[in-house]
A and B are shown apart, each in its own frame.
Chain A
Amino acid sequence: MQVTITVNGSAETHEVEPRLLLVHFIREKAGLRGTHWGCDTSNCGTCVVWLDGKPVKSCTVFAAMADGHEVRTVEGLEQGGQLDPVQEGFMECHGLQCGFCTPGMLMTARALLDANPDPSEHEIREAISGQLCRCTGYENIVRSVRWAAEKEASGPVTESEKPVEATA
């Protein structure tokens, strides 16, 4: 069957089998490898993308079910060369180590801050409770999301206030 899914604003039309999972559509058909896939059992949350604006586990949705719908992936977070504050937060606060869980965490964090710009630590932990990180023990992930919330609360940032690019 032919499906058309709008991924990060651009229409992706492909011939697929109905059994193709959305995560594989994104990675193999749309060629966007930022969305990771790990457990395959809807437990780890590394495959989280937005479907019509809401975070979902894309290993548990068929691409056919998303036909005609909008998907946003981690590649869609950056706007006009400017990282999203949650991406900056993960850089500033060491929210990632191996980076495997990071795409899913970023998508959930962005959705959380859109709905609740000033989340408590408890609310952040609750929001990411369906997502596993085997590296950081979550402390830095929670801090990263708080960092992003605080940055957004302090209003638009001018060029000179932007964090200095970390050198590898």
Chain B
Amino acid sequence: MQVPAPFTYERATSVEHAIELLGQLGPEARVVAGGHSLIPMMKLRLARPDALVDINALGAELGQIRVDGTDLVIGALTRHADLLRSAVAGEHFPIFHDAEKVIADPVVRNFGTVGGSLCQADPAEDLSAVFAAVDAVAVLRGPGGVRQVPVRELHIGPYETVLAPDELLIELRVRIRPGGGSAYEKVERRVGDYAVAAGGAAIWLDGDTVSGAGIGLTAVGAEHFAAPEAEAALVGQPATDESFRAAGRIAADNCNPTADQRGPVDYKRHLAAELTTRALRRAAARARGQEA
């Protein structure tokens, strides 16, 4: 039986309380949200926090999905299953539903959270690519107040984020702009597995021209889970299959996959190109109202 090393446990009753507890308990304390990344790591001693601050009671403060002005706001404690079910998220950004359908399995999705996924910063994590594609902003709160960090600057390496030990991820904000479409494409070895590779796209059209594009990639060593070179090449181009293929090739050329049990480098690079192309194609179809 795998049992984590001992730790002290505290339950936060508010966001403020959680930040206070993290400050008191010191840098070896960790937040536990769904625990679906942290607890397996604690069992294997890959993580050994000496204290846990449980934020699961903060659903009212951190578990909401809502539209605030021109932003779609997704609380950090939103469970994967709730994002999958959210009509308002799916209406504005169908990429969330595409991705949540293929993150882990339905039972894991009942407890794993959006914020936990992003803070885990696993290099094969799906939502990091999704939020990079839609160019979301992460709202962090610490003892000194609130700061906003673009998701593309949240991760500073595998399993590493810019969050201070006493900072909480509060919510993700995505700007809603008219005329857009988005989609996510993933290849995994079997249901519920992390990606061999996956690509997300958000696209805005001005007639037949691409006026804005976001591309996110995971599991292929793309810096900050994004493909800015491919995005730059796409904007201003006609929204055609040819442009999407070219963007896919550029995205693949600029990522840095490593060989592992999920596949060799050339296969992953091939997937990066193909999945980016398919995500762009579907995102564009959705922007044109051709596909829900």
A interacts with B: yes
A interface residue numbers (CB < 8 A to B): 1, 17-19, 21, 24, 37, 40-43, 45, 48, 51, 54-57, 60-62, 64-65, 67, 108, 126-127, 129-131
Given contacts A19-B5, A19-B6, A129-B191, contact A45 B107 (CB under 8 A): yes
CA distance A64 to B107 in the complex (A): 20
Instruction: Tell whether, in the assembled complex, residue B104 and residue A130 are in contact, meaning their CB atoms are under 8 Å apart.
Output: yes
In whole angstroms, what is the CA distance A67 to B43 when docked? 21
Q: How far is the CB of B185 from chain A (nearest CB, A)?
A: 18
Considering the complex, give the chain B residue whose CB is closest to the CB of A60: B39
Query: What's the count of A-B pairs with C-beta under 8 Å?
Result: 81
Contact among B4, B6, B110 with A56 in the assembled complex (CB-CB below 8 Å)? B110
What are 6 A-B contacts defined by CB distance under 8 Å?
A37-B1, A61-B39, A62-B39, A64-B11, A65-B56, A130-B106
Query: A121 vs B32: C-alpha distance in the bound complex, in angstroms?
Result: 36
Q: In whole angstroms, what is the CA distance A134 to B23 when docked?
A: 47
Residues of B contacting A108 in the complex (Cβ-Cβ under 8 angstroms): 106-107
For the complex formed, measure the closest distance between the CB of A114 and the CB atoms of chain B, giving whole angstroms: 13
- In angstroms, Cα B40 to Cα A45, docked, is 14
CB nearest neighbor in B for A1:
B9
Give me the interface of B with A, judged by CB distance under 8 Å. 1-9, 11, 32, 35-36, 39-40, 43, 52, 54, 56, 81, 104-108, 110-111, 191-192
- Bound-complex Cα distance A23 to B287 (A): 46
Q: Chain A residues near B36 (CB, 8 Å)?
A: 42, 57, 60
- Assuming the A-B contacts A60-B36, A60-B39, A130-B192, are A55 and B107 also in contact, with contact meaning beta carbons closer than 8 angstroms in the complex? yes
